[in-house]
Amino acid sequence: MINKIKGTYDILPEDSAKWQDLEDVIRNVSKLFNFKEIRTPIFEYSELFHRGVGETTDIVKKETYDFEDRGGRSVTLRPEGTASVVRSIIENKLYADATQPLKLYYQGPMFRYERPQKGRYRQFHQFGAEAIGSNSPLIDAEIINYAATFLQALRIKNIKIKINSLGDAESKELYKEKLREYLRPNIHQLCGDCNRRYEENPLRVLDCKVDKDNPVLIEAPKPLDFLTEESKYHFDQVIAALDAIGLDYEIDKSLVRGLDYYTHTVFEIDADLESLGAQSTLVGGGRYNKLVESLDGPDTPAVGFAFGLERLLLALESVDKPQNAPFIHCFMIALGDDVQADALTMVNDLRHGGLICDYDFFNKNLKGKFKQAERLNAFFILIYGEEEAKEKMINVKDTRSGIQERVPLRNLYNYIVNNLNPSHGSCSGNCSSCDEC
């Protein structure tokens, strides 16, 4: 028997609906923020990631799947999406589009040769978004808001938004110098990898998984203390915008992120959920004002994020989602031959108003009819007999609350819509953006 490769997994038919639901929310929320989808190849010339993500990062040093193709070219399975999107916008000259910034999102498999564990795989999936062409701090806040709104739509709670700034290129250089000075007398206390990182790029010492709790790293100088005036102003504006939007965040002075391309804002959102295990970071992102230029495009500022979909699915295990069960809005029970035509017309009118309705076509006893409504998970059972017809009324039973009311026929549609979702009157029960869905 040939087994799957370590760190990969099959999405079996019983799980594919969960993926499709997640992909629907990605599309819906991206539409709300007016981001358009871009799809790029899953492999690229290796040079793209070496130059884009950075030679000294763990991703490029230890985790990429590199191979030579039959033409002798060095190619790499993409470890992330940002470098590919930037390559594509340069190659297709999208940076010259009239509508700026370019607002793009993507989803698909990524590949990293990491030690597999719950929430960490060698083939995993990301949903990422990139806003390319604007240096406005408002778009940094918009990107963070987009990520947070997506989590709200999924009803994932217990999240913590952590934000920091690395500043512009000048601030980063100044900080690197200060960090190197600080590390010089202490570097022998850190691991072999850190000694190498210290020489090549001291910022990467701060990503060390071995020494992450070492006091030498905990007490290291922080980038926020070395920002130029301009960078500090940018960061203050991002914070002001997040305050205006009303998002809760925490400034995490130690957050640097593991990819070399970041400048200014960096952020991550963690969730404190048992189902996630140790891999609690759902999304990471930030501004990367020099990447487009470093990949031979014009000087173009940009900011973005990427979620890991497997981690989102693990987080969703902690979320109650009763609405995931198939449901219909109304089930009509018409009692007596004379009222059948009227009842069918009513059902049709409700459908034209966007409600999912079904009808009792069997001549079962009343108990059987109610059983059928229950099987279909009808939110409302409509009971219409000759007496109701005479009075131009109908009985409506809300199966979730158990409340039954007699409603004038002319008010039926409004009654249903207003009571569909007790806290969000106009939601049809599957909008994926209100509190209940």
Query: Taking CB under 6 A as the rule, does residue 44 contact ligand HAM?
Result: no
Query: Taking CB under 6 A as the rule, does residue 310 contact ligand HAM?
Result: yes
Q: CA–CA separation, 264 vs 256, rounded Å?
A: 10
Query: Taking CB under 6 A as the rule, does residue 285 contact ligand HAM?
Result: yes
Window 178-217: residues binding ligand HAM (CB under 6 A)? none
Find the shortest distance in angstroms from Cβ 146 to ligand HAM: 12
| 404-408, strands of its sheet edge to edge | 357-359, 328-334, 378-384, 393-398, 404-408
Query: Taking CB under 6 A as the rule, does residue 294 contact ligand HAM?
Result: no
Q: Choose one: 161-169, 216-224, 298-306, 356-364; the region binding ligand HAM (CB under 6 A).
A: 298-306
Q: Where are the beta strands (DSSP E) in 193-348?
A: 250-251, 263-271, 281-287, 302-308, 328-334
Query: Taking CB under 6 A as the rule, does residue 335 contact ligand HAM?
Result: no
Find the shortest distance in angstroms from Cβ 371 to ligand HAM: 44
| Of the residues 284, 300, 380, 384, which one makes contact with ligand HAM according to CB under 6 A | 284
In this structure, are residues 260 and 57 in contact, taking their beta carbons and an 8 Å threshold? yes
127 membership: H or E segment, kind and range = strand 123-132
- In sign, the C-alpha dihedral spanning 360, 364, 370, 373 is negative
CA-nearest of 269, 237, 275 to 255 is 269
Q: CA–CA separation, 83 vs 105, rounded Å?
A: 13
| Of the residues 144, 217, 306, 417, which one makes contact with ligand HAM according to CB under 6 A | 306
Amino acid code (one letter) for 29:
V
Query: Taking CB under 6 A as the rule, does residue 114 contact ligand HAM?
Result: yes
Site pattern 94..113 for ligand HAM (x: CB under 6 A): ------------------x-
Task: Identify the residue whose tokens are 């020099």.
Answer: 290
Find the shortest distance in angstroms from Cβ 169 to ligand HAM: 17
Eight-class DSSP state of 5: P
CA-nearest of 193, 40, 53, 41 to 112 is 53
| Of the residues 52, 54, 101, 128, which one makes contact with ligand HAM according to CB under 6 A | 128
For residue 208, what are its two tokens? 């060390």
For residue 8, what are its two tokens? 């990969």
Amino acid code (one letter) for 218:
I
In this structure, are residues 241 and 250 in contact, taking their beta carbons and an 8 Å threshold? no
Find the shortest distance in angstroms from Cβ 17 to ligand HAM: 21
Closer Cβ to ligand HAM, 262 or 370, answer by number: 262
Site pattern 257..276 for ligand HAM (x: CB under 6 A): --x-----------------
Q: CA–CA separation, 82 vs 87, rounded Å?
A: 9
Closer Cβ to ligand HAM, 66 or 114, answer by number: 114
Task: Identify the residue whose tokens are 């884009």.
Answer: 52
Find the shortest distance in angstroms from Cβ 63 to ligand HAM: 8
Find the shortest distance in angstroms from Cβ 177 to ligand HAM: 25
Query: Taking CB under 6 A as the rule, does residue 283 contact ligand HAM?
Result: yes
Find the shortest distance in angstroms from Cβ 122 to ligand HAM: 7
| Partners of 163 in beta bridges | 251, 267
Find the shortest distance in angstroms from Cβ 111 to ligand HAM: 9
| Of the residues 120, 176, 178, 196, which one makes contact with ligand HAM according to CB under 6 A | 120
Pairing of strands 328-334, 378-384: parallel
Find the shortest distance in angstroms from Cβ 5 to ligand HAM: 13
Amino acid code (one letter) for 312:
L
Closer Cβ to ligand HAM, 127 or 198, answer by number: 127
Q: CA–CA separation, 138 vs 156, rounded Å?
A: 25
Q: CA–CA separation, 162 vs 249, rounded Å?
A: 6
Window 231-260: residues binding ligand HAM (CB under 6 A)? 259
| Of the residues 260, 304, 417, 420, which one makes contact with ligand HAM according to CB under 6 A | 304
Query: Taking CB under 6 A as the rule, does residue 80 contact ligand HAM?
Result: yes
Query: Taking CB under 6 A as the rule, does residue 124 contact ligand HAM?
Result: yes
Which residue's CB atom is positioned nearest to ligand HAM? 308
Terminal alpha carbon distance of the chain: 43
Q: Which residues sit at the interface with ligand HAM, rule CB under 6 A?
A: 80-82, 112, 114, 120-121, 124, 126, 128, 130, 259, 281-286, 288, 304-308, 310-311
